[in-house]
Structure 1
Amino acid sequence: MVGEKDLQKLLAELRPELNPGRFVYCTFPGRVPAGLQPVVTVAEPEGVTAVVAQQEAEELGLSYGYVAAWITLRVHSALAAVGLTAAVAGRLTEEGISCNVVAGFHHDHLFVAAEDAERALHALEQLAAWAQAQYA
């Protein structure tokens, strides 16, 4: 299953979706603790970063400093697609919204400050509507 590469089509079919819940970034010196269920992990020389549900982090007594909303771009973008991250980040920049992007095989995932979730979703829907008008 190959993802879409055409930027105009990607934007027109963006379909951003706000996932329920709040998510936090936690870091660990070695591995993710057994039993923790992160939605994203990133291994760096300084340690492992795990994005987990805020509720799970609090139940386990984990420290965190950033509370995010998780938006999934439902379009199936190719990992080799050019410009999608830039277009999305540019649109959110216009609204003054910071964004942390993670690419999965099927979709791109955005983590924005929890208080900016609805504004970010609206901005992305506007971007998609603009692209649909251009694509038609």
Structure 2
Amino acid sequence: MTDAAPAPERDLGRMLAGLEPQLRPGTYVFARADTLPPGLRPVVTVAEDEGLTVVCTRDEAETAGLRHGFAAAWITLLVHSALDAVGLTGAVSAALAEAGLACNVVAGYHHDHLFVPTGQGERAVEVLHALSAGAAGSAG
């Protein structure tokens, strides 16, 4: 099977200029489970030695009886970055850190996903738009 999508971007300047951050609705939480509860639709899972980390909506975690920690807003960077691209995570993390925003980054096949503290999603998107505009301006 082939992927009909355009080739992923590897150039840092073009990735930053094309970030297109999209704030998704809802509150997402990081929770731990021994196994995936039936009916739970996590947006991220990570198998660790200590158990399964799931990221899902707070409502789903509470319905499943999962204890959860970090509550977050979910931002998707619509730029199709290559999984082996260099610098995107560092540049995005540095910009958010400079603005005083914590960030957990998860790379998907097509896009990078950021989880920032709940209530800080709009501010994070503003920071990312500024980063993107600066990269676009320096490219021209």
User: TM-score normalised to the size of structure 1?
Assistant: 0.96
Q: 2:83 — aligned with what?
A: 79
Which of 57, 63, 66 in structure 2 is aligned with 1:59?
Answer: 63
Q: Which runs of 5+ in 1 are unaligned?
A: none
Q: How does 1:99-118 map to 2 (within 5 A)?
A: 99-118=103-122
2: CA distance, partners of 1:26 / 1:60: 11
Which of 15, 32, 43 in structure 1 is aligned with 2:20?
Answer: 15
Q: Is 1:88–2:89 an aligned residue pair?
A: no
Amino acid at match of 1:23: Y
Q: 2:137 — aligned with what?
A: 133
1: CA distance, partners of 2:83 / 2:64: 34
Question: SS at 1:22's partner residue?
Answer: strand
1: CA distance, partners of 2:100 / 2:29: 20
Deviation at 1:10, TM superposition (A): 0.2
Amino acid at match of 1:14: L
Aligned length in residues? 135
2: CA distance, partners of 1:80 / 1:99: 20
Amino acid at match of 1:25: F
1: CA distance, partners of 2:97 / 2:69: 22
Q: Is 1:123–2:120 an aligned residue pair?
A: no
Q: Which runs of 5+ in 2 are unaligned?
A: none
Q: Which has the higher strand share?
A: 2
Q: Is 1:28–2:33 an aligned residue pair?
A: yes
Question: SS at 1:66's partner residue?
Answer: strand
Deviation at 1:61, TM superposition (A): 2.7
Amino acid at match of 1:4: E
Deviation at 1:34, TM superposition (A): 1.9
Amino acid at match of 2:29: V
Identity, % of aligned pairs?
53
